Chains A and B, each alone.
Chain A
Amino acid sequence: QQQVKQSPQSLIVQKGGISIINCAYENTAFDYFPWYQQFPGKGPALLIAIRPDVSEKKEGRFTISFNKSAKQFSLHIMDSQPGDSATYFCAASIFSGTYKYIFGTGTRLKVLA
């Protein structure tokens, strides 16, 4: 019940295309859904996040779509660029003394020039 399932495992997109990564969760107590971006040799860094009271959040070329009834959320990267090539992790958090973050298994994105 604590799992976050992420797909696809890897994704190749042409420059200018749309990258879509999907995540699903089971625990309805999760109340914060961030996406993290990780470049090789670095730690993950927060990209964008959403709370379940909104269905969509957009920041520049990055958009989170959230479907509370289906318990699914997705990351859309518009006009994908080679610099977006990285590993992306979705996560869900729950408060238990502090926020505990459960991560998806990651998606390795490659954007071809």
Chain B
Amino acid sequence: NAGVTQTPKFQVLKTGQSMTLQCAQDMNHNSMYWYRQDPGMGLRLIYYSASEGTTDKGEVPNGYNVSRLNKREFSLRLESAAPSQTSVYFCASSETGTGETLHFGNGTRLTVT
């Protein structure tokens, strides 16, 4: 039982390059989330998905797109990376309806030069 798995763990991009961050959960959770963590800013919600087939914007969605591929997988895409997107990205999942616990992956550390 792996919980929430994120790939890759580390990535360096040049400005303008694109990439997709992958996230998969094996807990049969309905809801999935993408957060970014920056020093002094805490965790800020980028996008979330309440259920398979639905996605919604969070606090800081600009520059990102997401895909809820199926119930297990929720990917985050940077179409044209910018230095301001240098951050640690966390995927999380929860069981809709309980509002109890967010289960986080161990993050992807992204540097855009």
Residues of A near any B CB (own CB < 8 A) = 2, 6, 9, 31-32, 34, 36, 41-46, 49, 89, 93, 95-106
Chain B residue contacts of A31, Cβ below 8 A? 99
Interface bin, chain B: 20 to 34
Question: B90 and A32: CB pair below 8 A?
Answer: no
In the complex, whether B1 has a CB less than 8 A from a CB of chain A is no
Do A101 and B45 contact each other (CB < 8 Å), given the known contacts A2-B59, A43-B4, A46-B101?
yes
Question: A6 and B42: CB pair below 8 A?
Answer: yes
Do A97 and B42 contact each other (CB < 8 Å), given the known contacts A43-B105, A44-B90?
no
Question: Closest residue of chain A to B40, judged by CB?
Answer: A105
Do A100 and B42 contact each other (CB < 8 Å), given the known contacts A43-B90, A46-B101?
no
15 other A-B residue contacts (CB within 8 Å) besides A49-B100, A49-B101, A101-B45? A2-B59, A6-B42, A32-B99, A36-B102, A43-B105, A89-B43, A98-B51, A98-B94, A99-B94, A100-B58, A101-B102, A102-B59, A103-B44, A106-B42, A106-B43
